[in-house]
Amino acid sequence: MTTHPTTWFITGSSRGFGRSLATAALAAGDTVVASARKPEQLADLVAEYGERILPVALDVTDAAAAEAALAAGLEKFGRIDVVVNNAGYANLSPVETTDEADFRRQFDTNFWGVYNVSRAALPLLKKQGAGIVIQFSSIGGRVGQNPGLGSYQAAKFAVDGFTRVLAAETAPFGIRYVVVEPGGFATDWAGSSMRVEEVTDDYRQTVGVLVDRVRSGGTAQGDPDRAAEILVRMVHAGNLPTHLVLGAGAVQMALDYSRSQIAEADAWQAVSASADFGADHPVELPEVPKAPDHAG
């Protein structure tokens, strides 16, 4: 049996999770195709790891460029074992006042970039009969609820749904998928890469709370280097969950959200079933706590 280093293809490798993951994979003896808008920012990793890293320029919103970057990695290393869709960013503003072009640009990177790279990778992974696709989402892509992140979180929900369908479609081809859902991590996500818009008075108590938190520069609990080490170790072990929540706070959010969804489905079960032909109808509606009255 021939063994070979695991070859990673990672988008957004110049900073944040992508940088940590590229470094962890290289430190573990693997090879990395490190894509970034500015691949020259990876010069220090090239100096340290030489031929085991291939920096490539990639704007994930360009489908042809995604195909070319994967082809370059395949030519260099002979195969691609793990595709990581990490590139993404968020701007912070209410849906009502967000410029439509900005909303679409965020979605182009955060969803269509994932689509472009995933679609370009499928023929390579199918031909190999094996491969892993890791999609970076967010705990917000599971629970939502963060005022001011409408485009970003909508895209992350879309990534999850898209990946679930891909997993069902490509199951016979030996391709496996993991959706990663981090909470707050010490990356540049809420730093220079995020534009924070001024919030009007009517959104101060919702969007304004998150704006204040971001501007205060609070310390995130999540360590991106530890998260990267977990992912590399997980891939090497072949022990893959369908979804991996990262960070204690994110785990609690996921558990609370799942429990509330189960409780709501249970409470409305009889009403839901009454929509079928032949079912008892009408049935009594369950009591639901009334929303606060903000009038006046």
Which residues share a beta bridge with 180?
A: 136, 244
Residue 96, CA distances (Å) to 30, 193, 263 in order: 46, 22, 31
Q: Measured between alpha carbons, how far is 85 from 95 in angstroms, rounded to an integer?
A: 25
Quick check: is 126 catalytic?
A: no
Catalytic residue among 137, 151, 177, 203: 137
**What is the three-class DSSP state of 68?**
helix
Q: Measured between alpha carbons, how far is 255 from 232 in angstroms, rounded to an integer?
A: 25
Quick check: is 137 catalytic?
A: yes
Catalytic residue among 13, 118, 156, 177: 156
CB atoms within 10 A of CB 283: 14
From edge to edge, which strands make up the β-sheet containing 131-136?
53-57, 31-36, 7-10, 82-85, 131-136, 175-182, 243-246
Sign of CA dihedral 37, 40, 45, 49: positive
- 93: which DSSP letter? B
Q: Measured between alpha carbons, how far is 8 from 75 in angstroms, rounded to an integer?
A: 13
CB atoms within 10 A of CB 214: 17
Name residue, tokens 């995130």.
Answer: 220
Catalytic residue among 49, 115, 152, 203: 152
Quick check: is 156 catalytic?
A: yes
Return the closest-CA partner of residue 5 out of 82, 120, 84, 57. 82
Residues labelled as active-site residues: 137, 152, 156
